[in-house]
Structure 1
Amino acid sequence: MASGAAVADDYACTGADRSPALAWSGAPDSTKSFALIVEDPDAPGGTFFHWVAYNIPPGVTSLPAGVPQSTEIAGGGTNGINGFEHIGYNGPCPPPGKMHHYHFRLFALDSTLTPGDNADAPAVQSAMTGHVIATAELVGTFQR
């Protein structure tokens, strides 16, 4: 998925609702872990979180499409609780009407996180405070 491009149905509630493949490079040498937060700031009730993952090892440079909705991520890392109150990724599913923007934000951190069991995005964001050393963002769009 290219930044600014539409999120394909395969990665939304109108299709298979699986996570898209993501890849990154150029993390600082001091990176100890990555966190990923996917959010929709256009949601009717305010920012809605579609995926939160954390403690992704510093040597990992990609996630495959279809990361299972389980706590542990193969290759390292932990899936948190999304806004649907599910573990892992659930894709775009806005009400019919206006275009929504989905921000895939990757954070390089100088530590691993201990946000507690079944952490949601606010818990991970709080645990990241003071530990972010670099960020990357990809924005996709979706409309029903």
Structure 2
Amino acid sequence: MTGSVASAQSPFVLSSTNFRDGASVSAPQVFNENGCTGANRSPQLTWRNPPTGTRSYAVTIFDPDASGPGWWHWAVANIPARVNALPENASASGALKPIGALEARNDFGGAGYGGPCPPPGKPHRYVVTVYALGVDKLALPPGAPATTFDHAIHGAALGSAQITVTYGR
């Protein structure tokens, strides 16, 4: 009689040298307009243990506490499967271009990363998500709105990992 051993895959996880789950965002990642005085540097992100079949990745940062339908701070797609980290300031430094990644237009109206900058009052949550996708590339035009990216990402996602951080002023 032969036996089989089921092996469970380790969970898909996201980590960052800049963001700690549940902690507050520090000045380097805060927006630098609209009354905020941060450096507007996209966070360093690292992920591991993607689901089997992952062919590319996408990253989003979304504020569910903003008025209306929420606020998109960053959406990046077409990150190759061989990449498992983005350096700090990847958005503004040009680090995404050589790997073929595309950035959406954020809700501030600019392409790329726009850091936290909620109105004064209660701190907002910022949900950072890396998605493992079952396609090599999403058919997205550069600079399309983040909502367009989000729709395409969800249609191809095999799994996701998240960190939630906060920021208030």
Q: TM-score w.r.t. structure 2 length? A: 0.79
Q: Which consecutive segments of 4 or more residues in structure 1 shift more than 6 A? A: none
**Partner SS state of residue 68, structure 1:** helix
Contact 1:71 1:87 in 2 (8 A): no
Change (3 A) 1:83 1:27: same
Q: Of 81, 84, 103, which residue of structure 1 is paired with 2:108?
A: 84
Number of positions where the alignment pairs a residue of Structure 1 with one of Structure 2: 144
Greater shift in the superposed pair: 25-34 or 100-109:
25-34
Shift of 1:78: 1.2
Gaps in structure 2 of 5+ consecutive residues = 1-18, 32-36
Deviates more, 1:53-62 or 1:127-136: 127-136
1:120 to 145, 150, 168: 145
Q: Which amino acid aligns with 1:79?
A: E
Match of residue 106, structure 1, among 103, 115, 130? 130
Give the fraction of aligned pairs with identical amino acids, expressed as a percent: 37
Q: What residue in structure 2 maps to residue 130 of structure 1? A: 155
Q: Deviations over 1:88-135 (max 9, x none)?
A: 101001111101000001110101200234222211122234311010
Give unpaired runs (5+ residues) of structure 1: none
Give 1:37 shift: 1.0
> Cα offset for 1:15?
1.6
Identify the residue that residue 41 of structure 1 maps to in structure 2: 64
1:24 aligns with 2:47: yes
RMSD: 1.7
Q: Is the 8 A contact 1:36 1:106 kept in 2?
A: yes
| Native 8 Å contact 1:17 1:90 kept in 2 | yes
Asked whether the equivalents of residues 73 and 79 of structure 1 are also in contact (C-alpha less than 8 Å), the reply is: no
Q: Which one is further off, 95-104 or 69-78?
A: 69-78
